[in-house]
Every structure is written in structure tokens, then in C-alpha cells.
Amino acid sequence: MPKEKFWRNSALVKPYALVKNLPHYKNLKIIFYITMLFLYFAIVLIPPALCSSREEAESAIQSAENTVLNCYKAVFEAEKAGADVSSLLQVLNEASWLLSRARVAYNNGDFNSAYKYATNCTQMLDGRVDEANSLKLEAENARRMDFLVNYVGSSVGAVAIVVGGYAFWVFLKRRGKTVEA
């Protein structure tokens, strides 16, 4: 079969056939090929994450805001219990910077960047609430121990020394009287 005839008969190459039917419009042919090529690369190469809509970006920012707030509340409680939260605060500050960038990107209409920053923020804080809670528990245990040793132990010890000292003093006095007698 001649090559020309094959192309015309083949159902698989209909777009090509369409172009072939328009031999006089060479510019149209070129535009057609470029469009097809562009569509192909657009579908294959652009990842789905870069196609965020306004709603997705807004939702991601809202989620990140809630995560930041929950993490802050957990850190707040941990610090109140006496835990060292400096490393957690550093992470929180880094994450909140990403959230700030997400808000700016969203206001500028760059929803892809907004979504990306907000998602990164949420990921950065993943598991930090649990970490803060465990720090809080540790701090509470340490505080209990501190109370036992420094409040109870210390005050009871001081009272024991005074009472013991008095008892020993009475004992020495009685012993002295006995020796004199």
C-alpha cells in the first residue's frame, strides 16, 4: 500500500489525516503540531500539586493555621508545666514563617505557592503536639519530684533537726543532772 493511502485510511491517525486534508494551510498545520506537543508536555510533566485551586489553597492555609494554633497551645501548656520548649518554639517559628508566606502568596493570587507553603507548614508541625505533651508529662513528673524534695523534704528535714536538737538537749540535760547527783 502506498504510504499516502495508508495515512488516509488509518483511523488511529485521524488528527494527522485532518491536517493532511488541509494542505493549503501550512501555518495551521504548524500550529496544530505545536498545540499537540504543548498539551502532551502539559499533561505529562506538570505534577498535580502545582494545579491547586483557590479553595484548595484556602483549605490548606486554614488547616495550617489550626495546626500552628494547636501546637502553640500544647507548647504553652508544656512551658507552664516547666518544660524546656526552646526547640519546639524554633520549629514553630519556622513553620509560622511558611504560613506567613502562604498568606502572602494567596493574597497575590499565587494559589500553587500558597498551597505548597501551607502544606509544608503543616508537615513541619506533624507530631509536635505529641512531643509537647510528652515534654509536659516529663516536666510534671520533675515538678512533683522537686516538690517532694525541695518543699516537703526540706521543710520536714528542718523541723526534724529542731525537734531532734531539742530532744538531744533534754537528754544531755538529764544526763548532766544524773552525773551531778
Partner 1 sequence: MRITEYGLIYWTVVGVLALLVASPFLSRVLVYPRTEFFTELWILDENHRAENYPYNITRGQNYTIYLGIGNRLGYCAYYMVRVKFRNQSQPAPTSFGPIESRLPSSLPSLFNMTAFVADEQVLEIPITFSFNYTWDEQFSKVELCGLRLNGVWLNMSKCTLSWDADKKAFRGFLFFELWLYNADTNSFKYHGRFVGLWFNMTVSV
Q: Which is nearer to partner 1, 7 or 168 (CB)?
A: 168
Question: Could you tell me which stretch among 31-39, 47-55, 70-78, 122-130 binds partner 1 (CB under 8 A)?
Answer: 70-78
Asked if 91 and 125 touch (Cβ cutoff 8 Å), the reply is yes
Asked if 77 and 132 touch (Cβ cutoff 8 Å), the reply is yes
DSSP 8-class letter at 50: G
Give the residue carrying C-alpha cell 517532694. Answer: 148
Other Cβ atoms less than 10 A from the Cβ of 102: the count is 27
Cell of 152: 516537703
Q: Which residue from 57, 60, 61, 68 is in contact with partner 1, where contact means CB under 8 A?
A: 68
Q: Which residue from 96, 119, 120, 122 is in contact with partner 1, where contact means CB under 8 A?
A: 96
Q: Which residue from 39, 142, 145, 162 is in contact with partner 1, where contact means CB under 8 A?
A: 162
- Applying CB under 8 A, the residues found at the interface with partner 1 are 68, 72-73, 75-76, 79-80, 85-86, 89, 92-93, 96-97, 99-101, 103-104, 108, 149-151, 153-155, 157-159, 161-162, 165, 169, 172-173, 175-176, 180
